[in-house]
């Protein structure tokens, strides 16, 4: 873990996978796609339990999609200072450039580990300063309340652990963190087994989150609506609503991952669920001999193999239902707390309805998507198989709280994925988009991996156009990962770099009715 302390610039809103050779492969693919532009298209063909296939046709004068840019992960330093100098360019000047070139706003991570260094003592100073600068620049801000550790996921060039006082609790009780079946604790995020257990120096995890929301509301109320346009709530590792089933120190793309419910709190909840149904003997997670290891392939395991796999038995269904429900209930509990804080109908001073959206990020687990069992989604907590839509139940909870789903992978193409992993980022994006529309929730997109190539811009553009056609209105926003470091990748002395021009062509084309745009003739 200390290796991670080497700080470069902190980064990341990772999603997915990737190590060693995969990064190399993706790099080659990125180069390849710059050279050979192929035709961007959206999977209009696949069907799912929730929605009908997408319609073709033209966009009815759709207004554009606002583009946001993610700030560097280390835009606030460990000692709580807002970073103001980026490779010799000051932040005010950079904000001016974003605005001038048509960007709607920025996204910033607000780190639990930096803000609440002592229980219930919050340091918001650098983020207030950022809001003031954003206001002067007339830019919007998507704030991400990041209750996870920065570091250890794809693209993470940072190390911001959870607060020290959480680790003081963990010294006595390591089960506050998720554990795999070897009992190895993952200190990226608190297990939702303690959402309702008052083990954090007298508070439950949900109370810790809610107190954080209240302090955030009191501090930032003047910025809601005019600056802050979205409040994303980090609901798991990497800020995504998922289990830490593919930790990069144990897992390589595209293993099935491992279930993470071996802390005593989740194990206890599983047993009581089984008892409740009169099937006490099912009150245990699947055994190692059946599910394999982080890096197993589905066909090597009794549980995940396509035909005759245990996933498709009554026990398998019982377990997977419970496992995914725990994740869904976590979203419901934290969103309930957030809704009470930000949309308090009994107190007009605390009711910010219409000023901003709450948002939740869902991970883009696209490997093994073409198999029947969808092993890697199952271990991540999405009970989504060829026969069952696992995202709709999540979206129903988001609908209940009028929260936006944020989904990544927008730039990814199937034909850039390794052949032997049954990947389909495009079909996954299609499923998520259709399920979000079927459940009438707002949708915002992101890319999963940093890129600068035109091909990837085209893919995002194609997805958002298909979205607008199907939904009849555009996506809430697309957030580009990420603010380039060094910044002169985009902004040179007095001019835009070539890569900068490509990015701003994309921003412009997204701002208009894309059906009539000539920037992307492929669409």
Ligand X SMILES: *[C@@H]1O[C@H](CO)[C@@H](O)[C@H](O)[C@H]1NC(C)=O
Per-residue CA distances from 216 to 97, 115, 147 (Å): 28, 10, 13
Minimum distance, C-beta of residue 399 to ligand X, in the bound complex (Å): 8
Provide the minimum distance between the beta carbon of 171 and ligand X in the complex, in angstroms, as a whole number: 6
Spatial contact of 359 and 230, defined as CB atoms under 8 Å apart:
yes
Query: Looking at beta carbons only, is 402 or 414 nearer to ligand X?
Result: 402
Please, what is the minimum distance in Å from the beta carbon of residue 404 to ligand X? 10
Q: Are 154 and 224 in contact (CB under 8 A)?
A: no
Provide CB contacts within 8 A for 79, sequence distance 6+.
Answer: none
DSSP 71: P
Q: Is 240 a catalytic residue?
A: yes
Q: What ranges make up the beta strands (E) of 382-498?
A: 404-407, 443-446, 477-480
Rank residues 389 and 442 by Cβ distance to ligand X and give the closer one.
442
Give whichever of 402 and 505 is closer to ligand X, judged by the CB atom.
402
Pair 204, 194: CB distance under 8 Å = yes
Q: Quick one: 343 exposed, middle or buried, by C-beta within 10 A (0-12, 13-18, 19+)?
A: middle
Residue with token string 């490779």? 87
Taking the least distance from each CB to ligand X, the nearer of 26 and 441 is 441
Query: What is the spatial distance between Cα 16 and Cα 251, in angstroms, rounded to a whole number?
Result: 11
Of 8 and 93, which has the nearer Cβ to ligand X? Answer: 93
Annotated catalytic residue, options 116, 258, 446, 476: 446
Q: What does the DSSP assignment read for 70-135?
A: EPPTTSB-TTS-B--EETTEEHHHHHHHHHHTT--EEEEEEEHHHH-SBTTB---HHHHHHHHHHH
Q: What tokens were used for 42?
A: 């959206």
Residue 467, sorted as left (phi over 0), alpha (psi -120 to 50) or beta, turns out to be alpha
Place of tokens 């608190």: 190
Nearer to ligand X, 29 or 208 (CB): 208
Measured CA to CA, the distance from residue 352 to residue 371 in angstroms comes to 44
The residue ranges that bind ligand X (CB under 6 A) are: 90, 92-93, 168-169, 172, 402, 440
Nearer to ligand X, 32 or 93 (CB): 93
Here the tokens at position 393 are: 């139940």
Q: What angle, rounded to 10 degrees, do the helices at 392-400 and 425-438 form?
A: 40
Least Å from the CB of residue 88 to ligand X: 8
Query: Minimum CB separation from ligand X for residue 170, in Å?
Result: 9
Min. distance of Cβ 84 from ligand X in angstroms? 8
Min separation Cβ 378 and ligand X, Å: 30
For the bound state, the minimum distance from the C-beta of residue 71 to ligand X, rounded and expressed in Å, comes to 17
Question: Is-catalytic flag, 218?
Answer: no
Structure tokens at 217: 């509301």
Torsion of CA 452, 483, 447, 522, to 10 degrees: -40
Up-side HSE of residue 408: CA atoms within 13 Å toward CB?
26
Catalytic pick from 240, 377, 411, 426? 240
Give me the active site residues, please.
240, 446
């Amino acid at each position: 873990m200390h290796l991670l302390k080497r700080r470069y610039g902190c980064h990341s809103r990772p999603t997915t996978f990737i190590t060693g050779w995969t990064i190399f492969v993706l790099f080659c693919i990125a180069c390849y796609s710059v050279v050979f532009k192929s035709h961007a298209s959206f999977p209009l063909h696949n069907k799912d339990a929730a929605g009908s296939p997408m319609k073709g046709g033209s966009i009815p004068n759709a207004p554009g999609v606002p583009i946001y840019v993610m700030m560097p992960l280390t835009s606030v330093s460990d000692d709580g200072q807002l970073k103001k100098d980026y490779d010799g360019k000051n932040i005010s000047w950079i904000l001016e450039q974003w605005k001038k070139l048509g960007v709607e706003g920025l996204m910033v991570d607000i780190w639990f580990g930096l803000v609440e260094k002592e229980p219930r003592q919050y340091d918001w100073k650098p983020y207030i300063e950022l809001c003031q600068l954003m206001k002067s620049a007339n830019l919007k801000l998507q704030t991400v309340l990041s209750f996870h550790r920065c570091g250890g996921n794809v693209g993470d060039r940072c190390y911001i652990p959870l607060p020290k006082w959480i680790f003081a609790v963990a010294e006595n009780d390591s089960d506050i963190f998720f554990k795999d079946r070897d009992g190895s604790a993952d200190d990226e995020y608190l297990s939702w087994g303690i959402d309702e257990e008052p083990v954090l120096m007298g508070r439950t995890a949900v109370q810790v989150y809610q107190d954080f929301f209240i302090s955030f509301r009191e501090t930032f109320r003047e910025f809601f609506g005019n600056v802050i346009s979205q409040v994303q709530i980090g609901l798991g590792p990497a800020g995504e609503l998922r289990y830490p089933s593919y930790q990069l120190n144990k897992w390589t793309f595209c293993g099935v991952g491992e279930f993470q419910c071996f802390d005593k709190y989740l194990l206890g909840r599983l047993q009581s669920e089984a008892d409740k149904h009169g099937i006490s003997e099912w009150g245990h997670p699947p055994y190692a001999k059946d599910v394999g290891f982080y890096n197993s392939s589905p066909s090597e395991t009794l549980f995940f193999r396509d035909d005759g796999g245990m996933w498709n038995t009554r026990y398998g269904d019982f377990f997977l239902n419970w496992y995914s429900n725990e994740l869904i209930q976590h979203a419901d509990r934290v969103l309930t707390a957030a809704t009470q804080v930000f949309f308090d109908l009994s107190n007009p001073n605390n009711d910010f309805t219409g000023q901003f959206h709450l948002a939740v990020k869902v991970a883009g687990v696209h490997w093994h998507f073409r198999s029947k069992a969808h092993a890697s989604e199952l271990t991540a907590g999405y009970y989504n198989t060829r026969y069952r839509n696992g995202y709709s139940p999540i979206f129903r909870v988001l609908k209940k709280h009028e929260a936006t789903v944020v989904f990544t992978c927008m730039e990814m193409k199937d034909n850039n994925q390794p052949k032997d992993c049954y990947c389909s980022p495009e079909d996954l994006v299609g499923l998520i988009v259709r399920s979000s529309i079927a459940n009438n929730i707002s949708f915002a997109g992101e890319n999963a991996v940093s890129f600068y190539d035109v091909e990837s811009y085209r893919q995002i553009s194609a997805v958002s156009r298909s979205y607008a056609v199907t939904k009849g209105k555009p996506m809430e926003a697309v957030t580009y990962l990420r603010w380039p470091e060094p910044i002169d990748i985009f902004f040179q002395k007095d001019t835009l770099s070539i890569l900068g021009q490509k990015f701003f062509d994309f921003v412009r084309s997204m701002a208009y009715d894309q059906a009539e745009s000539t920037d992307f003739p492929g669409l």
